[in-house]
Amino acid sequence: MENAERLCIVPCGAAKIWDKQPSLEAVQAQYAYTGVFAAACQRYASMFFDHWVILSAKHGFLYPQDLIPEDYNVSFVKPSSETIATQQLIEQAQTKGLTDYKQITVLGGKHYTNRAKEVFTANQELSFPLSGCTGIGYMLQKVTQAVESRIEIAATDNMQQQRLALEAKATETSPAAAKAALQKPYSGKYEQLYRYLAESDSDSLTLSVKQMEKILGFSLPQSAYDHRPWWANTLSHSHAKSWLMAEWEVDTVQLGHQVSFKKML
């Protein structure tokens, strides 16, 4: 299939550029959403697709260069009177020519996939490569692995299915059980922080370093006190994986004092 026939729809996110630069005015959509999952999805879309749009809970379908006039706080997870209606999305898709694409890939959870199913017709092939993931942390992991390997998720899934089948045969377990084993909750040195964040119902949370050490039951390394990169939202670091897999990301850091977390979506 020609790339010109394919469209990727990526999610927006709670973290936006105005959080750090409140004086900014209108910003292109591709620069507005600064959350780790939103950014990863944009990198994926840019790598594998010639055409992609962001689905905003307030503004609907946005091409990367479309301007967002100002900050806002609207989500699909907690709908409000400002959340864009399905009929508006249908009209936008037609006006922006999105209904002309033959294949549409949607990144994100059920709030995005369900709307795509309502907007697009049977004449278009819909693909949801993250639908098998049990949470945003696993979605982030899958998207990140695809970008790092430069292999689109569909191809990665085929290889993973072959691997799962071999592992299941070797251990006499079903492929479904083997897949479930890959998506166990986070476990490791920072498991107590993972559990604390995963059980929180808040959208944002600030913890002092002392509070985190009390939750963990041990002192953080000196690098956590001295170096901002220690708090980077990077899956390759076991401590960062604890909050990312709990579907949180570090927002702001006051070294040696406190850290603010924000829900990814």
Domain boundary among 125, 149, 173: 149
Length of the chain: 265
Higher pLDDT, 71 or 181: 71
Please tell me whether residues 73 and 166 are part of one structural domain: no
Tokens of 62: 């946005």
Tokens for 188, please give them. 């490791």
pLDDT tens digits along 119-166: 998 789 999 999 888 889 999 999 999 999 999 997 555 444 444 444
Residue 241 has pLDDT above 90, yes or no: yes
Query: For residue range 185-205, what is the model confidence (pLDDT) as tens digits?
Result: 677 899 999 999 999 988 899
- Convert the pLDDT of each residue in 50-83 to its tens digit: 999 999 999 999 999 999 999 999 999 888 999 9
Residues of the chain above pLDDT 70, percent? 87
Residue with tokens 């709670």: 14
Question: What's the pLDDT score for residue 207?
Answer: 97
Residues 115 and 63 in one domain: yes
Q: Which of 22-31, 92-101, 156-165 has the lowest mean pLDDT?
A: 156-165
Q: In this structure, are 142 and 167 located in the same domain?
A: no
pLDDT for 128: 95
Shared domain for 48 and 107, answered yes or no, is: yes
How far, CA to CA in Å, does 180 sit from each of 107, 132, 160, 184, 185?
A: 21, 10, 13, 7, 10
Look at 134-143, 177-186, 226-235, 255-264 and tell me which has the smallest mean pLDDT. Answer: 177-186
Give the whole-angstrom CA distance, residue 45 versus residue 150.
Answer: 12
Tokens of 160: 């993973």
Q: Is 41 helix (H, G, I), strand (E, B) or coil?
A: helix
Q: Is the pLDDT of residue 109 over 50?
A: yes
Looking at the structure of the chain, the number of domains it has is: 3
Collapsing DSSP states into helix, strand and coil, what is residue 203?
A: coil
In the numeric block, the tokens 């693909």 are attached to 127
49 and 33, same domain (yes or no) = yes
Query: What's the mean pLDDT in 209-223?
Result: 96
What residue numbers bound the domain in which 173 lies? 153-182
Residues 73 and 143 in one domain: yes
- Taking 60 as the threshold, does the pLDDT of residue 112 lie above it? yes
Residue keyed to tokens 């897999």: 245
- Confirm if 107 and 44 have CB atoms less than 8 A apart: yes
Based on the fold, state whether residues 237 and 178 are members of the same structural domain. no
| Rounded-to-integer distance, Cα 260 and Cα 252, Å | 5
Residues in contact with 193: Cβ distance below 8 Å, sequence separation at least 6, in sequence order: 212, 215, 216, 239, 242, 243, 246
